[in-house]
Amino acid sequence: MILDALTAAMATGKVRVVDLTQTLTEDFPTIVLPPEFAQSAPVRIERLSHYDAAGPAWYWNNLSFGEHTGTHFDAPAHWFTGRDRARGTVDTLPPEHMIAPAVVIDCSAACATDDDHLLTRPALEAWEATHGRIPAGVWVLMRSDWSQRKGAAYANLRADGAHTPGPDAEAMRWLVHDRGILGFGSETIGTDAGQGGDFAPPYPAHHYLHGAGRYGLQCLTNLHLLPPTGAVLFAAPLKVHEGSGSPLRVVALIPGKDTP
Amino acid sequence: MAAPRGYDGVVLAVPVTVPYARFSTRPAQWWVGRALAALAKESGLSHTAFDGLSMASFSLAPDSAIGLTQHFGLSPRFLDFLPLGGVAGIVGLRRAARAVQAGDADVVAMIAADTNAPQSFRQSLEHFSRFSQDAVYPYGAGGPNVSFALIAAAYMAHTGLTRADIGRLAVAQRSNGLRNPATLMKKPLSLDDYLTARAIAPPIHLFDCVMPCAGAEAFLVMREDTARAQGLAFVRLTAAIERHNGFPDDAVMLRGGWQRDIGTLWAMASCAPGDVDMVQTYDDYPVISAMQFADLGFCTPQDLPDFLRSHDFTVTGDLPHNTSGGQLSLGQAGCAGGHLGLVESIRQLLGTAGDRQVSGARRALVSGFGMINFDRGLGSGAAVLEAT
Amino acid sequence: MRAKKNPLHPVRRPLLPPGQRSRAAHLLTAAAGEGRFALPCCTACGRFAWPMPEACPACLGDIALATASQGARVLSATTAEVPADAYFRERAPWRVGLVQMDCGPQALVHLSPGADTGDSVWLSLKLDRAGSAVLHAGREGEDMTTDPQWRDMVADPRDRRVLITDARHIAALPLARALAKAGAAAIYAGLPDQWKPLDTRAALESVPGLSLVPLDVTSDRSVADLAAQIGGKVEILVNTADLPRPGGLMGPSATADARAAMDTVAFGLLRLARGFGPAMAGRGADGTLGAVAWVNVLSVFAHAAPPALAGYSAAHAAALAFSHALRADLGQGGVRLLTVFAGPTDDPWFQTFPQPKVTGKALADGIVAALLNGQEQAVVGDLARDLMERLRENPKAVEREFAQGRM
């Protein structure tokens, strides 16, 4: 009955579906590591046939990409802190985690003026003062409006590395250990800030989330369409054997216009 | 070098020309068949009675001469294949003469035939020679015009010949040719026409060049007793020479191989250049005809300008030259161009040359020249024929 | 200044000069392609011969190529006004000479406009548009760059439009500058990963006629998109795309690195060939400034793989193999494929390699010189030249030297 009510609400617009996914393209920026490290393969879409001599009646492509390209999911096994977690890879991910509520922390104003804006624990506590305590088992999505940037401005690489917003170490520790969130999502290339390598611990979002068996989502878009609370996220990565993550389609259910 | 034995008892008979055509859809084999048929008809012999075949052609591929024996029902005991261009006639004649003289054959059919389609001249050029392929065609010198232009320029500088001097030969030949119903070139040619013609590769201009065509020339070689038994009119072969790559160390061709052998030629013929009643040179470029006059002993190279200016080369002149009109008037039917002078000389010496008959013709000098393999013509040959 | 083409006139289809040669004559093709002047010479009596014979005409000894004097004297000259061959016919008048070479034999030559009978001339062995060796003669010091016959045998960048496929390559900036200096009408510099910074952006953008264009040779779409945009304009393509990642077979990311190198160097070439090859081959005779050359900048390690560069060498060897096929395809249109083999370049990837290393400028100058000379192979850098020589002489020794860590 609940599901019937849900589909009915979706049919009438009382529940709307928002696509939070960037189109998987070949020139979408990916994480840049120092070149002496192994590099992620880029997204490549190679045509096999297009109703032509290579396949007269059909169109299809060969698709290749690294696990961490486009809008993608980070599983606990992605980071050394999560290497021993049970069900830490995408193929063993509990399916009930693929559908979960989400809260949205709007940092867009600060990010507009500060590329290196950090989401802090006090900011989160201030958010709670307005919207209530962040429940356990939710996705926390950091809205930065970064997804509206393109190309070089999106990657924002400088000589000292990327400059993109993200959470600081204490915020992540607090969200994971004191609030028990399911995962953290961002609009930038990583769940961590561009300069997160210099934090203690380095890359705290990866460190705390995956160390606790939690998840990351990055390169999200359309977060500005979500309410601060009340959205439900569908995030089901590809069932890649022992995969550390995968590109995926992320959609959110949100209350429609006439819903209180 | 030993003096060669004479050609005593060797005669030439039954001159045959299969009328030329600018282009032909028929292969060379068809032209060979027509020539054989004409030889048989004119001689009164069955073609199966020809026990020798000497074949000159560039365009028989994939056949060589041996395939023609089955093709035309011949069973010869002497067979020769000479894809040697303008020297093939003289070379073939020398071999056939020795064959009949020695009794290796009784009647040798001498046939030169080639066909010509719009593309075939270029195609045969592409397969003409290894040295041409490697070192001539890549320079825009496909077709002999450029190669002869380079020789002509050097030879004119060497001898002082002018285009007007050389043009006298071309003009006289055309005048002769207009008396020959078989020629493809029917228009009179003035010296002014010659001098103002379109440049092809200076100093070679349009009327220095022959026109490729299809056609065949043929005659029979036999012993005198055979000819008499058949009741055939004949002429005698009194002398013949050939030489290939005669002067390999010359930087540029300023003489042909004739120079090495003219002593032999005139000694065999027991006469001198001034004793001939006509000269048939290989006229693929009149400047090469001029070179032949010098190399065959008519004058020195430096005297050529005077020599050309002081003689009348028409059939009514003092030194009739290329009395048929030559290839410059008839066209160049491939290898048949080398047989043309022989066939024409037989006609003249038999007194059957019609409007172009040289009166009182008793002795003819015929010269052959061929094969620009790289930078020069390699083959040279000459023969003296006498009326009986 | 490059004149614009009347769009109502069809593009002239490429015709080629007669390219058929004897097998032995292709020894000359190799010499011409490398910019060497060598002629057939008897190994027994030392006499030079021409055209290429199968045995010495003087003593019947064996023939091999030997370096020869380039001097000659013109014996005779003509201008083919009505050549029989279609390629020459549409380019007539065409100057041809007969020369006496100082080393002995005579030869037909393509003759410069300034040379005539009696002149002393300087011979060079060139590849013609059919890719076969021919002799060209000009007066010593004569400026040949305006001679249409000469221009048809070289790949002069003047007034031509050039694509450098990877602006991030160490040679890209000096190459752009050298091409601009050589008079290129336009220079397109391909930029992969536009979202990554380009240190040389300002310097590149200050090169006259240069524009940065998006191009990632590892992407079918990127190559196809750029080919759709400028494929019909590129007259010289210089493929600089490279991914030097040292590492042996047992290295931690050997497979991924080798795959990435293959994707950039070998498959990148394949993508470029498919994207740009047909249009270039079709424009080989498009006016006097048609498509003329494709340059692959490859590592000399395409010929021999040091263990520490296993994947990288394999990628370059694969690209070399592709380039042989590409040479044949482009050759249909008279477009030359030039392979430039470079030694280790002076960049961080070859940091630990011994000097002398190849600077970007040296590589750029080598590329432009080889284009101006009409070569199809050039070797840049002392180490590269040394390696090629060692390979020619004793390839097995090179393998062992590499195994011992010696370059």
For residue C224, list chain A residues with Cβ-Cβ distance below 8 A. Answer: none
The domains of chain A are located at: 15-31+67-255
Give the residue range(s) of CATH 3.40.47.10 domains in chain B: 10-118+214-234, 142-211+238-387
Instruction: Label residue B141 by pLDDT band (50, 70, 90).
Output: confident
Whether B143 has a pLDDT exceeding 70, the answer reads: yes
Strand order across the A139-143 sheet = A15-19, A250-255, A231-235, A99-106, A139-143, A183-186, A215-218, A72-74, A245-247
pLDDT tens digits for range B86-139: 999 999 999 999 999 999 999 999 999 999 998 776 666 667 899 999 999 999
CA distance B109 to B105: 10
Average pLDDT, stretch A125-134?
98
CB-based contact C193 A27, cutoff 8 Å: yes
Confidence at residue A259, expressed as pLDDT on a 0 to 100 scale: 55
For residue A29, list chain C residues with Cβ-Cβ distance below 8 A. Answer: 193, 195-196
Assigned CATH for B142-211+238-387: 3.40.47.10
Confidence at residue C2, expressed as pLDDT on a 0 to 100 scale: 80
Residue pair B80/B100 in contact by the 8 Å Cβ criterion: no
Confidence at residue B122, expressed as pLDDT on a 0 to 100 scale: 65
CA distance C266 to C324: 12
Four-CA torsion B342, B347, B350, B354, nearest 10 degrees: -160
ipTM: 0.92
Confidence at residue A260, expressed as pLDDT on a 0 to 100 scale: 52
Residue pair B80/B373 in contact by the 8 Å Cβ criterion: no
Instruction: Label residue B64 by pLDDT band (50, 70, 90).
Output: very high
Whether A25 has a pLDDT exceeding 60, the answer reads: yes
The token duo for B354 is 């019609």
Average pLDDT across chain B, whole number: 96
Which residues of chain A from 159 to 178 reach within 8 Å of chain C, CB to CB? 159
Confidence at residue B367, expressed as pLDDT on a 0 to 100 scale: 98
Confidence at residue C3, expressed as pLDDT on a 0 to 100 scale: 80
Confidence at residue B1, expressed as pLDDT on a 0 to 100 scale: 75
Which domains can be identified in chain C, with CATH numbers?
A: 26-151 (no CATH), 161-403 (3.40.50.720)
For residue C74, list chain B residues with Cβ-Cβ distance below 8 A. Answer: none
Q: Is C21 touching B (CB cutoff 8 A)?
A: yes
Give the nearest chain C residue to B137 (CA atoms): C18
CA atoms within 13 A on the CB side of B314: 13
Residue pair C369/C380 in contact by the 8 Å Cβ criterion: no
Q: Is C132 touching B (CB cutoff 8 A)?
A: yes
Whether B255 has a pLDDT exceeding 80, the answer reads: yes
Q: Is C216 touching A (CB cutoff 8 A)?
A: yes
β partners of residue C238: C164, C295
CB-based contact C220 A155, cutoff 8 Å: no
Q: What CATH homologous superfamily does A15-31+67-255 map to? A: Putative cyclase (3.50.30.50)
Show which residues on chain B lie within 8 Å of chain C, measured between beta carbons.
121-122, 125-126, 130-131, 133-143, 145-147, 149-151, 153-154, 157, 198-204, 248, 251-252, 374-375
Number of B–C residue contacts, CB under 8 Å: 125
pLDDT tens for the 407 residues of chain C, in order: 688 888 888 888 999 999 999 999 999 999 999 999 999 999 999 999 999 999 999 999 999 999 999 999 999 999 999 998 999 999 999 999 999 999 999 999 999 999 999 999 999 999 999 999 999 999 988 999 889 999 999 999 999 999 999 999 999 999 999 999 999 999 999 999 999 999 999 999 999 999 999 999 999 999 999 999 999 999 999 999 999 988 899 988 899 999 999 999 999 999 999 999 999 999 999 988 999 999 999 999 999 999 999 999 999 999 999 999 999 999 999 999 999 999 999 999 999 888 899 999 999 999 999 999 999 999 999 999 999 999 999 999 999 999 998 88
Among positive and negative, which fits the CA dihedral A164, A169, A170, A173? positive
CB-based contact C18 B138, cutoff 8 Å: yes
Residue pair B324/B20 in contact by the 8 Å Cβ criterion: no
* Topology adopted by domain B10-118+214-234: Peroxisomal Thiolase; Chain A, domain 1 (3.40.47)
Number of A–C residue contacts, CB under 8 Å: 49
Confidence at residue C251, expressed as pLDDT on a 0 to 100 scale: 87
Instruction: Label residue B17 by pLDDT band (50, 70, 90).
Output: very high
Q: Which residue in C215, C234, C19 sits closest to C130, CA to CA?
A: C19
Give the nearest chain C residue to B250 (CA atoms): C106
For residue C105, list chain B residues with Cβ-Cβ distance below 8 A. Answer: none
CA atoms within 13 A on the CB side of B322: 33
Confidence at residue A148, expressed as pLDDT on a 0 to 100 scale: 97
